[in-house]
Amino acid sequence: MVQANRSSRKAERYAEAALDLIRKRGGSTGVTLREVSKRLGFAHTNAYNYFTDFQDLLWATLRIALVDYSVAIIEGMHAELRPAAYVERLFANYVGYGSKDPGAYRFISSDPLDPEQIPDDIIHAVIDLKTFFVDVVAMVCGDAVSRSEVENIASIIISYLDGEALALINGRSLPGEDTASRAVENALQIVERMTAHVHDGITLAQVTPPAAYPVLSIEALTNQMGLIHIDTDNPNGGAE
């Protein structure tokens, strides 16, 4: 990527326009550089002042999508909640994001990307998101559960919720079924059943609040990916 221009406002306008098209199309398949440029009223060759190729633009778009996703993931996760409600809210936000923003969800979670080419800052951002998820699960697992065990539990839950979210946005739910609520309840049961050997009958609802809840800093995530122009109160943005 053309590093000198990656954080310019015009470069981010390209990424915002691309994300807007991805949302409308239900994913990144079929979105082109010419189409993004046309949406902004620019010649498509203008994009090469900011990006080496279309894949570079998609990386920039993914950065913005990850910020939006992160804001949605922590919505309503307040310290006033009991630990069980805190983790339940995380699971609900996780599985519900696909229904709220299916195009962006597909782009983030299932559209093809070359793992060999993913920029380091995006990898670190994804690791930070995963770490936050693990920290929240660890909060209700108890001190007797090792970090490696918690990471395994969290990985299982993430894989399960991803599958349910994709089934939901692809219309694979039974008529009248509340797939999202069922998925969240099942995820909570996974935690309880996989940690039952250390809780001595204590349910998630009885877990004592910690001194401090795990927090995901949107500002830190945004700065890490160099998105200095993103409004973290309204990360969706949109092409001007």
Q: What is the pTM of this model?
A: 0.86
* Cβ contact 141:202 at 8 Å: no
Give, as one character, the DSSP assignment of residue 231: -
Give, as one character, the DSSP assignment of residue 5: G
CATH class of 3-224: mainly alpha
pLDDT by 10s per residue, the chain, length 240: 344 455 578 888 999 999 999 999 999 998 999 999 999 999 988 899 999 999 999 999 999 999 999 999 999 999 899 999 999 999 999 999 988 999 999 999 989 888 889 999 999 999 999 999 999 999 988 787 899 999 999 999 999 999 999 888 888 777 777 888 999 999 999 998 888 776 666 677 778 888 899 999 999 999 888 876 555 454 444 333
Of 98, 72, 83, 105, nearest in space to 188 by CA: 83
Domain spans of the chain, in order of start: 3-224
DSSP string spanning 113-157? --TTT--HHHHHHHHHHHHHHHHHHHHHH-TTS-HHHHHHHHHHH
